[in-house]
Amino acid sequence: MKTDILSLLPHEIAAFFPYEASYRSVQIFEWLHKKNAPSFDAMQNLPKSLRHDLDDVFFITPLDVIESHISSDETIKFLTRLNNDAFAESVLMRYKHGNSVCISTQAGCKMGCKFCASASGFQRDLTPGEYCLQVYNAESAKNVVLMGCGEPLDNFDATLRFIELITHEKGKNLGARHITVSTCGLVPKIYALAELELQINLAISLHATTDELRQKFMPIAKKYPLSELISACRFYVEKTRRRITFEYALIAGQNDSPAHARELGKMLQGLLCHVNLIPINPVQSDFSPTPPRETKIFAAALAEKNIPVTVRRSLGSDINAACGQLRATARTLDLYDNLS
């Protein structure tokens, strides 16, 4: 069986060819991660014999974008086929400070959050190389957000390897502080990530101020109560000295009152953090977004508690590319349900 070369570091590639000069593995890595070579034949500065050997041992997952949609705000959503057995959605978002790409880490998701279209079924983990392909497809992106389909910390080893690959000096050489990893709150993995002391950004999907309410939205809350989650977050900040972002989706009549804001401020008091308020985007659920006036009141109540807060601008909602909407379209769901 051939090996996925996009998921390997230079020294791991070199181990397959001990008879080759050591610099050859770096050349191969550069072709893959800096020049986005689609095949081994494209690597013209390699001997033909080595290109033949590479083709015998490895495969390069093709970048097969089968659909793309452009929003009125110039957000682009891509649907990519991966190895003919899974699909991934990614989103290129345009900002004045630089473009960002939101990538998927799994085909589907196990977490089952009630307000998220990705909860429609899990098929498999993506490989680190498949993470990379989504980034390389969005050539203009300066920031990478692991916040698409799937739970990055549920695919923990692949997520860590992706960070190694994307920050490698011989590849894209992206700075760690330009990478954001989002999680719904897998407490043991937050502790494990903290121990590595990476300089990435961590975002926590919070969405509630009590265990009872959070369990209503997010099944993971039944396993890890808020007290354990916040303790893990405090440990993360102590180890990394990095600020945590708490994502809070505002759902009309559910979690959006001034009282909820005050409870949230009390919960996060003294923690190096920032709250990102997200009026929930329409998906196939019974939830509706908090109106703008109530959103401003909620934000003001948090600010009074000295909690830094912003309201996220929704991008791509007209093409189902906004937060929580990936895999929401009938076309995409049909593709997932009829995998060959």
Catalytic residue among 109, 116, 184, 323: 323
Residues contacting residue 162 through CB under 8 Å, at least 6 positions apart: 128, 131, 132, 146
Q: Is there a catalytic annotation at residue 238?
A: no
205 has which bridge partners?
Answer: 247
Q: Are 255 and 280 in contact (CB under 8 A)?
A: no
Q: Are 309 and 280 in contact (CB under 8 A)?
A: no
93 has which bridge partners?
Answer: 100
Strand ordering across the sheet containing 201-205:
64-70, 76-82, 86-93, 99-103, 141-146, 179-183, 201-205, 244-250, 273-279, 309-311
Which token pair is 48? 């033909």
Residues contacting residue 336 through CB under 8 Å, at least 6 positions apart: 87, 107, 108, 120, 121, 123, 327
Catalytic residue among 20, 89, 130, 263: 89
State the Cα–Cα distance between residues 302 and 74, nearest whole angstrom. 31
Q: Is there a catalytic annotation at residue 263?
A: no
State the Cα–Cα distance between residues 169 and 163, nearest whole angstrom. 12
Question: Which residues are the active-site residues?
Answer: 89, 323
